Amino acid sequence: MDRGVAAAIEAERQKGRDVACARGCSQCCSTHKDIPLYPLEIIGISWYAVEKVTGVEREILRQQLKAFTKDSACPFLVGRACSIHPLRPMACRQFNVFGSPCKEGEDPFHTRRGDVMDPVKKHVDQAFYVMLPYYGVENEAERVRAVEAGAFHRMVRELHACRWRELAEKMERRDNSAETRKSGSADVRKRESAEVGKMKEGLWAGGDRRGAQ
């Protein structure tokens, strides 16, 4: 899909239209409250947040997910960047605007539709086709039929309708179990050094015995 989006942007550039979207430009992530999300994307995003986001970014993300309400900005927006960028939804990948960057609160889909890039159906269908085996549809003919029938769209949800607090809790459980493992291995190290201490004491005792002989 990313290659398809890049090709579509390049085709527009050839016509003299430059894309306004750039890193750090993130009004859309605060303004949009109707971002479509598919089940597999929710799984991917959750995995990425739990396993891959680290440090201060992780802490901010966890707090935002916990405090999330349907009126909030996208909870994955951290420091004007997408904290789940490699696994961001297809809708975010496709939403590109030409001309000038969006103003605060502006949804160019409504204010200047002509500047919003149209999704390229061929690439969207291809992305769905690739994902279908993960939903248990492996047979090629069935995959083609499912894509043609738009079966995917029946599974769509909205990002703002998801219970992201549960993801924050999952991140916490992961952090706590990592802490337990760390303190567990600290305990093991403590036990090992106690064992080494005992062995050394044993050596001294052996020396004494030898000296006594």
What residues line the site for ligand SF4 (CB under 6 A)? 20-21, 25, 27-29, 35, 74, 76-77, 82, 84, 88-89, 92, 95, 97, 101-102
Kindly tell me which of 95 and 152 has the beta carbon lying closer to ligand SF4.
95
Kindly tell me which of 104 and 148 has the beta carbon lying closer to ligand SF4.
104
Residue 128 Cβ, how far from ligand SF4 at the closest point, in Å? 19
Residue 30 Cβ, how far from ligand SF4 at the closest point, in Å? 8
H or E stretch at 47: helix 39-51
**26, 77 in Cβ contact below 8 A?**
yes
Residue 57 Cβ, how far from ligand SF4 at the closest point, in Å? 12
Dihedral over alpha carbons 43, 49, 51, 57 (to 10 degrees): 170
Residue 118 Cβ, how far from ligand SF4 at the closest point, in Å? 14
Nearest to 50 by CA among 88, 84, 90: 84
DSSP 89: -
CA distance 164 to 46: 9
Kindly tell me which of 147 and 162 has the beta carbon lying closer to ligand SF4.
162
